[in-house]
């Protein structure tokens, strides 16, 4: 484990732990408030994220930003990361060996951020954080508590682009996160 952000970020710059490194333009480490009480975890970067080196800046990220604004959540006050730090080819889901290669980086990010709430965006984040036995359809909208952190699975914003009906669920889920944050006296 790394003691600070500088060491952690330096450790990943030239990462070659899996095959995703061969086609990356940029490592997509994370963004936002490094002392956030709320952290969002997605699956992996897309083309726009790979180009800019920042998570959730493409179409799905823009949709997520609109949802944040709509419910009164400030993106600058949360921390956003992904399971894998390099773009999987053709935006496919990360394979198990790729996710395993990056999970220590993500775990270290969680340790450094020390969030009280972690929102798991989609099936890949859910399965890699809470376990393979969980499915996003059954787990979405349900709170899980592990080691003092509250986890809340919801749809990945990219799923909203494919299925408009999921936008209402996502909106409601963000409101649930805000309600829990308020109960915990967390400012968002």
| Domain boundaries along the sequence of the chain | 5-183
Residue 82 pLDDT > 90, yes or no?
A: yes
Strand partners, 153: 120
Phi and psi (nearest 5°) for 160? -70, -30
Q: pLDDT, tens digit, for every residue of 139-161? A: 999 999 999 999 999 999 999 99
Residue 50: predicted pLDDT: 97
- E strands within the chain? 31-32, 38-42, 79-82, 117-121, 144-146, 149-154
The dihedral built from the CA positions of residue 151, 157, 158 and 159, taken in this order, carries a sign that is: positive
Q: Which residues contact 163 (CB under 8 A, 6 or more apart)?
A: none
Residue 1 pLDDT > 90, yes or no?
A: no
Q: Per the structure block, which two tokens stand in for 51?
A: 């180009």
99, 84 Cβ separation under 8 angstroms: yes
Is the overall model pTM greater than 0.85, yes or no? yes
Pairing of strands 144-146, 79-82: unpaired
162, 148 Cβ separation under 8 angstroms: no
Q: pLDDT, tens digit, for every residue of 10-48? A: 999 999 999 999 999 999 999 999 999 999 999 999 999
Residue 55: predicted pLDDT: 97
Q: pLDDT, tens digit, for every residue of 156-187? A: 999 999 999 999 999 999 999 999 999 999 98
Mean pLDDT of the chain: 96
Superfamily of domain 5-183: Uracil-DNA glycosylase-like domain (3.40.470.10)
Residue 188 pLDDT > 90, yes or no?
A: no
């Amino acid at each position: 484990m790394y003691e600070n952000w500088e060491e952690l970020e330096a450790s990943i710059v030239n990462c070659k732990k899996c095959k995703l490194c061969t086609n990356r333009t940029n490592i997509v480490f994370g963004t936002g408030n490094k002392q956030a009480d709320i952290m969002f975890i997605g699956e992996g970067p897309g083309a726009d994220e790979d180009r800019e080196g920042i998570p959730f800046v493409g179409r799905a990220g823009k949709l997520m930003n609109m949802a944040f604004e709509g419910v009164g959540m400030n993106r600058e006050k949360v921390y956003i990361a992904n399971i894998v730090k390099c773009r999987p080819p053709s935006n496919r889901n990360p394979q198990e060996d790729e996710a395993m290669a990056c999970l220590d980086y993500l775990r270290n990010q969680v340790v450094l951020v020390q969030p009280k709430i972690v929102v798991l965006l989609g099936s890949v984040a859910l399965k890699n954080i809470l376990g393979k036995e969980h499915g996003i359809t059954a787990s979405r909208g349900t709170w899980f508590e592990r080691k003092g952190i509250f986890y809340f699975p919801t749809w990945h914003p990219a799923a909203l682009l494919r299925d408009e009906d999921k936008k209402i669920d996502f909106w409601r889920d963000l409101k649930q996160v805000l309600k829990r944050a308020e109960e915990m006296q967390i400012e968002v």
